[in-house]
Chain A
Amino acid sequence: GAGVSQSPSNKVTEKGKDVELRCDPISGHTALYWYRQSLGQGLEFLIYFQGNSAPDKSGLPSDRFSAERTGGSVSTLTIQRTQQEDSAVYLCASRSPGQGTYNEQFFGPGTRLTVL
């Protein structure tokens, strides 16, 4: 079946502009995660959605970052007033509800964001 998809694959923007990154999880996956991958920094957790529960936003680095998940499926990560330090690859992952939370996450290809 189809995997996790993300769009756009690349985004170049100017400092101060807003950007929206989209994630389409695997159908039926109730858990959805956003991560940020910076060069040499590994993966940084941003936000976690699980079904209809309130999202875990504890990883968002500032109030310029927000995310929503509509209808329990597609998610959008929004970065307002982008800064150069926001440049990174933004990865989305989803996880199936089977076997509780032990299941592995499936990752999308990422969106490479460059802020000039």
Chain B
Amino acid sequence: AQSVAQPEDQVNVAEGNPLTVKCTYSVSGNPYLFWYVQYPNRGLQFLLKYITGDNLVKGSYGFEAEFNKSQTSFHLKKPSALVSDSALYFCAVRDDGNNRLAFGKGNQVVVIP
């Protein structure tokens, strides 16, 4: 079985400060990891993914994430947060044994002006 944990319900950060949204995962095979963002009353938008290769993945809107196999983590980061980054962020994982994504509960990010 595959699962994702996003331990913090809400992340508050001041505009201009670094933003980190944590994600740990559990899979039985090789992990394929994804981050999505959901703005109010909108569907989920893809940010970035890790399939293989370089552990540091760069994505949309200045976001990046680092795959850490030993810690089974895939934390999302942005060096300087914007007020417009305030949204709900979902981490997701699937292993190479099936086609289904397992999503975390999501983290509400609030960027304070």
Residues of A whose CB lies within 8 Å of any CB of B are 4, 31, 33, 35, 40-43, 45, 48, 50, 56, 59, 91, 93, 101-102, 104-110
B51 near A101 (CB under 8 angstroms)? no
Interface majority SS (helix, strand, loop, mixed), chain A? strand
A107 near B44 (CB under 8 angstroms)? yes
Residues of B within 8 A of A31 (CB): 99
Q: Which of B33-55 contact A (CB under 8 A)?
A: 34, 36, 41-46, 49, 51
- Interface size of B by CB at 8 A reads 22
Any A CB within 8 A of the CB of B103? yes
- Encode B93-113 as 1/0 by CB contact (under 8 A) with A: 010000111111110000000
Known: A42-B103, A101-B99, A109-B41. 10 other contacts (CB 8 A): A4-B43, A31-B99, A48-B99, A91-B43, A93-B44, A104-B49, A108-B43, A109-B42, A109-B43, A110-B43
Residues of B whose CB lies within 8 Å of any CB of A are 32, 34, 36, 41-46, 49, 51, 90, 92, 94, 99-106
B101 near A42 (CB under 8 angstroms)? no
- Supposing A48-B99, A48-B100 touch, asked if A42 and B106 sit within 8 A by C-beta, the answer is yes
Residues of B within 8 A of A48 (CB): 99-100
Residues of B within 8 A of A41 (CB): 105
* Min distance, Cβ B90 to any Cβ of chain A, angstroms: 7
B105 near A42 (CB under 8 angstroms)? yes
